[in-house]
Amino acid sequence: MIEIGAQVDLSHPSDRVWRALTDRKLLGRWFAEAETVEGVPDRLLLHTAELPGFEADVEVEVTERLELELLVLACDEAGRLSELTCTVTPTTQGCRLEVREVSTHGAWSAEQHEPREQQLRQALTVRLPAILDWHAFQQVDLGRGDTGMTTELPLVGARGRSGGTRRRRRVLVAAVGGAVLLAGTAAWITMPTESNPAAAPAPAGTPSPSVPADEVTVAVSATPSTRPSRTTTAAPTTRPSRTPSAKPSRTPSSAPPPPPSAPMTARYETDSSRLFGYTGEIVVDNPSGVPVADWAVVVTLAEGTTVDDVDGANWRRDGRTITFTGAPVAAGASQTISFDVRDSRPKARGPESCTIGGQPCAGL
């Protein structure tokens, strides 16, 4: 028996996650396109043949269903059988989704197992949260459906009197607005004027009146308020030795200086893209004749993006900047970095910038 699985904590309620699991159209947006099997209401055909880790389309049938909590599917991938279990558990922030697939007849090959598990993990941690955010946005749209969003709120009134009601409301708003404007103007006129420190005559030694007041304030605040202490330790007054130093040897070094090494280079490529995100790949090359131990690739992402599933390097984040570092790169060798980005911009294709050693990455 071979098992693969993944889990993710989501900031969405269980009913929204349950719909993403059971709605055929939503399922096609974050995992695989699905179509119903004629004559069997609880059976679907998932078009997974082109996904990593899958060799054919998968036919699934619901064998157990507990609303908002548990969904068990029997899967048939060209004669290879497995059982897929989806468990939804409520949390304080939303819910936790755990997906586990166990082979029941036949087995996945070694080349198929790892890409299949990685595909499942990427679907749960990157594509599913993006679809849930999109679905939540649709639900906030006040049920307007295909009519589009609007900032105008409907006016509720008796039938046949809506025109007069609107006119009376406009007159009332105009009257209230005029009263507020008059009161504000009167208060401003009767308000006592505050003395302006900058208009007072400047004492001797102060900056010229033409200098802006904020610059004068900065100059004064920079002056220390207390005098420096007189107990500062004096520098030692030891006299230099009278013994003449030995003259440097004029014999040239026999070893020639090492040749200058070529700088590290990097090239970026968007491996795949989706509705709200993409998978990026950076190849770091060492064209020099010596190994390079210290290297760093700096990537700048768009506002509101998150990074997940980094492979091939260590990484740290500071705001929108991601810094990738890793093991030494041998002379003439290369290192590949892959990472998933969840981007709030629809159809985003890559980061805003990528550099290595201050030089831009090729391909971006």
Please give the sequence-ordered ranges of beta strands (E in DSSP) within 30-185, or none if there are none: 34-37, 40-46, 58-66, 70-77, 80-90, 95-105
pLDDT tens figures, 205-227 = 444 444 444 443 433 343 444 44
Residue 254 lies in a domain: no
- How far is it, in rounded angstroms, from Cα 160 to Cα 143? 26
Residue 20 lies in a domain: yes
DSSP secondary structure string for all residues of 59-70 = EEEEEEEETTTE
Residue 51 lies in a domain: yes
Mean pLDDT for the stretch of residues 136-161: 49
Write the single-letter amino acid at 45: L
Tokens standing for 167?
């006119």
Q: What are phi and psi of 85, to 5 degrees?
A: -115, 125
pLDDT tens figures, 154-167 = 433 344 444 444 44
Q: Which helix (H) or strand (E) holds 179?
A: helix 162-190
The DSSP letter of residue 287 is -
111, 140, 169 — which closes off a domain?
A: 140
Residue 220 lies in a domain: no
Indicate the SS3 state at residue 325. strand
Q: What are phi and psi of 354, to 5 degrees?
A: -150, 125
pTM for this predicted structure: 0.43
- How far is it, in rounded angstroms, from Cα 273 to Cα 348? 7
Q: How confident is the model at residue 349 (pLDDT cuts 50, 70, 90)?
A: confident
Residue 38 lies in a domain: yes
pLDDT tens figures, 285-311 = 999 889 998 999 999 998 888 888 899
Mean pLDDT for the stretch of residues 121-132: 89
Write down the pLDDT at residue 237.
Answer: 47
Write down the pLDDT at residue 117.
Answer: 85
- How far is it, in rounded angstroms, from Cα 326 to Cα 272? 23
CATH number of the domain that residue 57 is part of: 3.30.530.20
Q: What are phi and psi of 15, to 5 degrees?
A: -65, -35
pLDDT tens figures, 66-111 = 999 999 999 999 888 999 999 999 999 899 999 999 988 887 777 7
- Ramachandran region of residue 304, left (φ > 0), alpha (ψ -120 to 50) or beta? left
Residue 349 lies in a domain: yes
90, 118, 140 — which closes off a domain?
A: 140
Number of domains in the chain: 2
Which residue has 């993944």 as its token pair? 6
Residue with more model confidence, 131 or 178: 131
CATH number of the domain that residue 285 is part of: 2.60.40.290
Q: Which domain holds residue 120?
A: 3-140
Give the distance, in angstroms, between the CA of residue 325 and the centroid of all CA atoms in the same chain. 19
CA geometry: angle at 4 spanning 327 and 90, to 5°?
100
- Taking 70 as the threshold, does the pLDDT of residue 332 lie above it? yes
Residue 212 lies in a domain: no
Least confident span in 163-172, 255-264, 291-300:
163-172
Residue 28 lies in a domain: yes
92, 119, 140 — which closes off a domain?
A: 140
